Structure 1
Amino acid sequence: MLFIKAVVIGCSIAAPVGPIGLLCIQRSLKRGFRSGFATGMGAASADAVYGLLGAIGVAGVALSSPSLAMILKIMGGAFLVWLAWGIARDMRKPLSESKEEMSAAAARDFLTAFGLTLSNPMTILPFIAIFAALDPLSGGHDQTGNTMWLATLTMVAGVFLGSAAWWLCLSGTTSVLRQKMSVSFMHTVSSVSALAIGAFGLVQVVSGVRAVL
Structure 2
Amino acid sequence: MLGAAVAGLLLGLSLAAPPGPMNAVIAEESVARGFRSGVSAGLGAMSADACFLGLAWVGAATVLRDAPRLQGAILGIGGLLLLAFAFDAVRDVRGFTDGSDSTDGRGFTKAFVLALTNPFQLLWWLTVGVALLDPGRVTVEFGPLATTIATGTPVIVLGFFAGIGLWITAFPLALIGIGRRIDGFAPLVAAASALVLAGFGLTFLYRAAGLL
TM-score bracket, normalised by the shorter chain, equals: 0.7 to 0.9
How far did residue 131 of structure 1 move?
5.0
Which structure 2 residue ranges, 5 or more long, are not aligned?
138-151
1:31 equivalent in alignment to 2:33: yes
Per the alignment, in what secondary structure is the counterpart of residue 136 of structure 2?
Answer: coil
How far did residue 135 of structure 1 move?
6.7
| CA-to-aligned-CA distance 1:125-160 (integer Å, 9 cap, x gap) | 423433554576337xxxxxxxxxxx5544433322
| CA-to-aligned-CA distance 1:164-210 (integer Å, 9 cap, x gap) | 1111111111122222232x332222222211211110111122113
Match in the other structure for 1:118 = 116
Normalized per residue, which structure has more strand? 2
* Alpha-carbon distance in structure 2 between the residues aligned to 1:175 and 1:78: 29
8 Å contact kept, 1:78–1:205: yes
* Alpha-carbon distance in structure 2 between the residues aligned to 1:200 and 1:58: 25
Match in the other structure for 2:87 = 85
Task: Pick closer, same or farther for the CA change 1:172–1:5 going to 2, 3 Å.
Answer: same
Per the alignment, in what secondary structure is the counterpart of residue 103 of structure 2?
Answer: helix
Match in the other structure for 2:98 = 95
Q: Report how many residues are paired.
A: 196
**Cα RMSD, aligned residues only:** 2.4
1:14 equivalent in alignment to 2:16: yes
8 Å contact kept, 1:87–1:190: yes
1:187 equivalent in alignment to 2:190: no
Which structure 1 residue ranges, 5 or more long, are not aligned?
140-150
1:40-119 → structure 2 map (5 Å cutoff): 40-91=42-93, 92-97=95-100, 102-104=102-104, 107-119=105-117
Match in the other structure for 1:171 = 172
Q: TM-score, normalised by structure 1?
A: 0.80
Taking only the aligned residue pairs, the percentage that are identical comes to: 30
* Alpha-carbon distance in structure 1 between the residues aligned to 2:204 and 2:79: 5
Task: Pick closer, same or farther for the CA change 1:120–1:113 going to 2, 3 Å.
Answer: same
Task: Pick closer, same or farther for the CA change 1:132–1:78 going to 2, 3 Å.
Answer: closer
8 Å contact kept, 1:48–1:159: no
Normalized per residue, which structure has more helix? 1
Match in the other structure for 1:157 = 158
